[in-house]
Structure 1
Amino acid sequence: MKYSKRIMLLLAVDSFIVLCSVFISYLLRFEARIPEPFWDSMPYAMGGVWLVTCAVFYFSNLYRRVWKYASVGELVLIIRTTTVALGVNLILYAAVRASGMDIGIPLSVFLLSWMTTTIGIAGSRLLWRIVRGSQVKIQPHHKKALIVGAGDAGTLVAKELKHFPDTTLYPVAFIDDDPAKLYMEVGGLPVVGTRRDIPAVVKRLGIDTIVLALPSAAKSDTANVIKICKKTSASIKILPRVSDVIHGNVSISTIRDVNVEDLLGRDPVAVDLKGIAEYVTNKTVLITGAGGSIGSELSRQIAGFQPEKMLLLGHGENSIYAIENELKRKHPNLAYETVIADVQDRQRMVEVFDRYRPAVVFHAAAHKHVPLMERNPAEAIKNNVIGTKNVAQCANLFGVERFVLISTDKAVNPTSVMGTTKRIAEMIVQSLNRRSTTKFVAVRFGNVLGSRGSVIPIFKQQIREGGPVTVTHPEMVRYFMTIPEAVQLVIQAGAIAEGGETFVLDMGEPVKIAKLAHDLIRLSGLEPDRDIKVEYTGMRPGEKLYEELLTAEEGTAGTTHDRIFIGKPAVFSVKEFMAKLEKLERAAFNNYMPVEPEHLKAMLKDLVPTYQLAASDLEEAKNRQKAAEAVVNRLKLEVALGAEK
């Protein structure tokens, strides 16, 4: 209905209610026996009260409300407007009597008409809401929903689910730990138990979906509730943010599936915004690998600290193009440059540093897939080792203030090429820090949920395809952290850096990969090994069952941040290290006589003695290298003899 027609209709209804209210007031005042003189004054009373009341209603925006969604706020508005109308009527009547005119309207009529008008207007709106917004009864297509949390968020969710026919969920009961609500009714739904009763309630009521409406609860508390819910066959959904309740944005659309992040039980990371702003704001910040999972999140978060300019450097044009478009949309005033470059190209790195003169560098560019790097060690060395060396040396040469290397827990007592190359990268920045004004630091953490190539997206894809979900070993354990959380701690570590540290992020409790797979299957509403098979494929080359965060010689020390620790720098000869590093670089880039992968691994072992390379691999590396050299020498001899002829 058009706005003008709607107002005319409401005015007509309200006019009828007001006129009837005045007549009823006379009947009440005189107990249904109205004396003759007051019949004559009644038209004046009706006209005056009607005119004033409708005028107040109009100018108080009473007709701008959508009465289908009327609640206590609308009732308060009705009472306020009828009270204002009563006051105006009494003032006008007093003015008329003061002028010498006595119409003969009893004062009690005004009070009674205020009461009856309020009841009539409020009743009409309530009736309209009942007619237009009557709750939908449970239908065959509905899934029964159990709402955990009978607070503000839970009642709002129940209200939406009950009154909107488009949703597939229908609330049947609440779960709440508050003893005052237990076995009571909230919003027409019974509170049938506490969190401990969830499995029994789901079974008794035939619940299909559990909705967690606990936006203000601690992450650890939410994780505990989810743990109980996983014992049932019901799917689990969650209302994520407390701000939804604060701003009144709770709706069906804010309910989402439970993610693995919710299972970790990790409270939000507290960030020292002032400390970060001091070293990032109004500075030129270079992010290598800016198109990757960590690099792109670094770009998003640093953009919020108003850098003077942000340099997004990456080798893949598509990923850099994607983060550029995102930043352009979300931060239209941000000054940035996109740089397509390979960190292995030293001359290109010199050009970038010379042109833009960054003050802060976050080095996130790296090859990180363990099995792939096992088969291609030369590429891991070129990117992770030589690339880091190029960028770090340029940072030293051009006087960068801070250099933050993104490392990994796989660098500790490494069993893989990838982990060993990242350990060498750490040693490069530590060696440079000893003789540079730049503050070189490394930040080491475990797996990040949702990053490219991480296990979670792979599991989700396997579940979508109907399985099986493949796990390498039933006892394999990993540390996990969300991408935004890891990046916040990386930026924070840069703020507290003094130079030379290896910062270790508190990853919480390690998680079994097999348990993670089972949890993901259950969160998808399926049963492991019944709907989706879990298969164990065996450990891949370079993998180990347990990751570590510190080497034995590093030890640990606390920082001003309760989630960041410092590993003491390892003691090693820089001169000897650099000599071995040069040999490794020549071997990796030797196109004339390609070095066997096993020999490269042996050279990595020489640089990082804690690299757990099997003795048989070392022996094979030596034998294959000798054979390769013999072939090359024979070819050289043949070429030389041919030239003489």
Structure 2
Amino acid sequence: MTWLDALMTMPRHRKRHLLQLIDALTVAMSLNLAVLLHWDTGLAPFATSLWFLTGLVTVATLACFHWLGIYRLVLRYMNPSAVLSLGTGALVSSLLVLLFDGMMGGLLSPSVAVIHGLALLVGVGGVRYALRELYLVSQRRQRRPVVIYGAGAAGCELASALRHGREYEPVAFIDDWRGLEGTLVDGLHVHQPCDLETLVDEHRAAMVLLAIPSATRSRRREILQRLSTLSIPVQTIPGSADVIAGNASISEVRDVAVEDLLGRDPVPQFPDLMDANIRGKSVMVTGAGGSIGSELCRQIIDQQPARLLLVDNCEFALFSIEQELLGHPGVGRSGVEVKPLLASIQHRDAMAAIFDGFEVHTVYHAAAYKHVPMVEYNLIEGVRNNVFGTLKLARSAISAGVETFVMVSTDKAVRPTNAMGASKRLTELICQALARSGCATRFCMVRFGNVLGSSGSVVPSFREQIERGGPVKVTHPEITRYFMTIPEAAQLVIQAGAMARGGEVFVLDMGEPVRIQDLAVNMIRLSGLEVKDSEHPDGDIEIVHTGLRPGEKLFEELLIGEAVSGTRHDRIMTSREPFWEWPRLEAFLQELDRALGASDHLEVRRLLQSAPLAYHPADSMADLVWQARNDRLLAGNVPAGIEDGTIDLSGPVGLHSSKPV
């Protein structure tokens, strides 16, 4: 351990005693220096008197310093108020010189007291500044150098906070504004973005910290795209809204949010649309514990409904969202009743009982099986839940006189290549047909793409794979998806529902589609790592392509036809799309129900293809039960049906069967 380390680790009471000793010497030296500067004769003529005067002034000055709280100051946090305290102490010490000198006969000139005060202020201030710098030097040796992007108020506050921490040492500022180029801000040089690569190499910077909390997401995206080429870790400070709301502090650095990579700026809400179907009303959310359902609940609470019914068939998810909402400020402020209801939408009696027990005005239907491969593997249950669960819920809502029924749909319902998308398109047809059947309930559908951070989303999967050291798994190098944040999706669902007149398919503007390969590359590089490929064999993390999963598309769409019109909201459009009238659809649903009851997988698929869903399966049958049954038949004797030609084995096993295997 060096002397500096020993000094820094000394107990606080010893540091205080050491500082008092240094201050005593400084007071004595300041007074004697003042006498020397004023009289050329030296100290000899005043030897006895000056020795006694010095002792009195020193003791009294230290007592004054103690009374002013100077020894309670933490040197690393020296600020203008500390300097003011030191100045007050020096002034009092000057007055003490005049007082004691007058009591001893007035041997010294008043100018000696003035010089003493100035010298004392410089001395005690300089000692403290020197000790503060020694502390910062000792800490700097253990901290990692970082470059701060943004030399504004947030950047300065961040630099100050980092200097007092133990992790990072700011070494330079980067700022786009040319007026700051070459200047010094908070002791650090400000450079242009083009100098960033040189700065990183020169200072061996461990990280770039974004200190631009008020920048738009599109602006942040531009900056992050530039930084991603450097393969240096990038972190950011919270947005200005979080800081103002007290949810975070400027010094709190975080990983870069994927929302910043997408560059999609939020659109202001329309307050009248947000609360039209909610304020003072009884509102039900199905799938309340899911990604979209739970965010809908949070947004709904803010609009002060009279009652919020949380419906979910997962006990833990229901418990989690109930506990979160009970702690929400809006619940206590407006007295919203929060009712957790453990039920499945497939049970019509349970739904009818809920509607009968609570006077429900608005339903937001977000309950569904949405994971594409999972529904492919479990075709019967996926279709039964998504289609007939929605049908039973909708009929119960009509019987109960619900005012508005808003169904959350998906872009996978457009020309679906998988059973999940086909089932969601069929639920759209159900809502469209019911809306035209003359019932009082207003039905509408809201269709959008992927939401960031939802269960099964690629973003948390990529982040976890990067933390494990890779590889990062992408199904196909050209696969693209639309993305939206969960809060924005929930807000737009609520606002779209408020504009419903009955039977509309609302389509949310998802912006530009994102290439998943590019998203993975940017996430790797912004973690400070390099992609390992043929051009960079020494890279850190490899991206592997696993192939499209059952039913998965390369490109998703949002619109079926061209009949699209805008609404008063910039991000919400309406689409007129074909559907069956209720009598014809009802007959079809009866056939589908019989096929589901018989676990006739092939008939279910055939029926889905016969409906106006534009359903064209991308793969052969992937249902696990169906495959297991066929495998058992093939493992035994030749099954009945092959000899008479009703089972065609020329393609995928049983795919062309005219009856269930």
Q: TM-score, normalised by structure 1?
A: 0.79
How much has 1:133 moved relative to structure 2? 4.4
Q: CA RMSD in A?
A: 4.4
State which of 298, 304, 323 in structure 1 corresponds to 2:321. Answer: 323
List aligned pairs for 1:242-641, cutoff 5 A. 242=240, 249-251=249-251, 254-273=252-271, 275-331=273-329, 333=332, 335-434=337-436, 435-524=438-527, 525-529=529-533, 530=537, 531-559=540-568, 561-562=569-570, 564-590=571-597, 593-594=598-599, 596-613=600-617, 626-628=658-660
Question: Is the contact between residue 474 and residue 514 of structure 1 (CA under 8 Å) also seen in structure 2?
Answer: yes
Identical aligned residues as a percent: 38
1:310 and 1:32 map into 2 onto residues whose CA distance is 91
Give the AA of the match of 1:391: L
1:515 and 1:294 map into 2 onto residues whose CA distance is 26
Distance 1:2-1:338 versus aligned 2 partners, 3 A rule: farther
How much has 1:144 moved relative to structure 2? 4.2
Secondary structure of residue in 1 paired with 2:386? helix
Distance 1:82-1:506 versus aligned 2 partners, 3 A rule: farther
How much has 1:53 moved relative to structure 2? 12
Distance 1:162-1:469 versus aligned 2 partners, 3 A rule: same
The C-alpha deviation readout for 1:43-82, integer Å capped at 9, x for no partner, is: 99999999899779958x7776533211345435666x67
1:614 and 1:498 map into 2 onto residues whose CA distance is 36
State which of 219, 222, 227 in structure 2 corresponds to 1:221. Answer: 219
Corresponding residue for 1:99?
A: none
Residues 398-407 or 41-50, more deviating: 41-50
Secondary structure of residue in 2 paired with 1:583? helix
1:28 and 1:336 map into 2 onto residues whose CA distance is 80
Structure 1's unaligned 5+ residue stretches are 94-101, 632-645
1:24 and 1:616 map into 2 onto residues whose CA distance is 97
How much has 1:557 moved relative to structure 2? 1.3
2:360 and 2:24 map into 1 onto residues whose CA distance is 72
Distance 1:170-1:616 versus aligned 2 partners, 3 A rule: closer
How much has 1:504 moved relative to structure 2? 1.9
Distance 1:72-1:365 versus aligned 2 partners, 3 A rule: same
How much has 1:398 moved relative to structure 2? 2.1
Question: Is the contact between residue 243 and residue 250 of structure 2 (CA under 8 Å) also seen in structure 1?
Answer: yes
Give the AA of the match of 2:146: A
Give the AA of the match of 1:610: A
Distance 1:173-1:313 versus aligned 2 partners, 3 A rule: same
Distance 1:244-1:122 versus aligned 2 partners, 3 A rule: farther
The C-alpha deviation readout for 1:585-617, integer Å capped at 9, x for no partner, is: 523542xx33x3232122223332422347999
Give the AA of the match of 2:367: A
Question: Is the contact between residue 563 and residue 575 of structure 2 (CA under 8 Å) also seen in structure 1?
Answer: yes
Give the AA of the match of 2:430: I
Question: Is the contact between residue 228 and residue 526 of structure 2 (CA under 8 Å) also seen in structure 1?
Answer: yes
How much has 1:450 moved relative to structure 2? 1.7
Residues 20-29 or 295-304, more deviating: 20-29
Question: Is the contact between residue 135 and residue 163 of structure 1 (CA under 8 Å) also seen in structure 2?
Answer: no
Question: Is the contact between residue 158 and residue 171 of structure 1 (CA under 8 Å) also seen in structure 2?
Answer: yes
Distance 1:477-1:131 versus aligned 2 partners, 3 A rule: closer
Distance 1:11-1:451 versus aligned 2 partners, 3 A rule: same
Distance 1:227-1:45 versus aligned 2 partners, 3 A rule: same
Matched, 1:148 2:149: yes
How much has 1:132 moved relative to structure 2? 4.2
Residues 374-383 or 447-456, more deviating: 374-383
Corresponding residue for 1:177?
A: 176
Distance 1:117-1:283 versus aligned 2 partners, 3 A rule: farther
Question: Is the contact between residue 196 and residue 228 of structure 1 (CA under 8 Å) also seen in structure 2?
Answer: no
Corresponding residue for 2:638?
A: none
Secondary structure of residue in 2 paired with 1:230? helix
Residues 537-546 or 61-70, more deviating: 61-70
State which of 68, 81, 92 in structure 1 corresponds to 2:76. Answer: 68
How much has 1:32 moved relative to structure 2? 8.8
Secondary structure of residue in 2 paired with 1:600? helix
Residues 472-481 or 332-341, more deviating: 332-341
Question: Is the contact between residue 353 and residue 394 of structure 1 (CA under 8 Å) also seen in structure 2?
Answer: yes
2:135 and 2:114 map into 1 onto residues whose CA distance is 32
1:517 and 1:104 map into 2 onto residues whose CA distance is 82
Residues 314-323 or 208-217, more deviating: 208-217
Secondary structure of residue in 2 paired with 1:227? helix
Distance 1:495-1:103 versus aligned 2 partners, 3 A rule: farther
Question: Is the contact between residue 42 and residue 105 of structure 1 (CA under 8 Å) also seen in structure 2?
Answer: no
Distance 1:585-1:266 versus aligned 2 partners, 3 A rule: same
How much has 1:314 moved relative to structure 2? 0.7
How much has 1:265 moved relative to structure 2? 1.1
2:90 and 2:595 map into 1 onto residues whose CA distance is 87
Question: Is the contact between residue 382 and residue 585 of structure 1 (CA under 8 Å) also seen in structure 2?
Answer: no
1:278 and 1:11 map into 2 onto residues whose CA distance is 69
Distance 1:336-1:145 versus aligned 2 partners, 3 A rule: same
2:337 and 2:512 map into 1 onto residues whose CA distance is 40
Corresponding residue for 1:98?
A: none
How much has 1:349 moved relative to structure 2? 0.4
Give the AA of the match of 2:572: F
The C-alpha deviation readout for 1:339-369, integer Å capped at 9, x for no partner, is: 1111011110001111122222211100111
List aligned pairs for 1:232-243, cutoff 5 A. 232-242=230-240
Question: Is the contact between residue 522 and residue 528 of structure 1 (CA under 8 Å) also seen in structure 2?
Answer: no
2:449 and 2:86 map into 1 onto residues whose CA distance is 59
Residues 358-367 or 209-218, more deviating: 209-218
Secondary structure of residue in 2 paired with 1:627? coil
The C-alpha deviation readout for 1:269-297, integer Å capped at 9, x for no partner, is: 42234542454333332111111111122
Secondary structure of residue in 1 paired with 2:209? strand
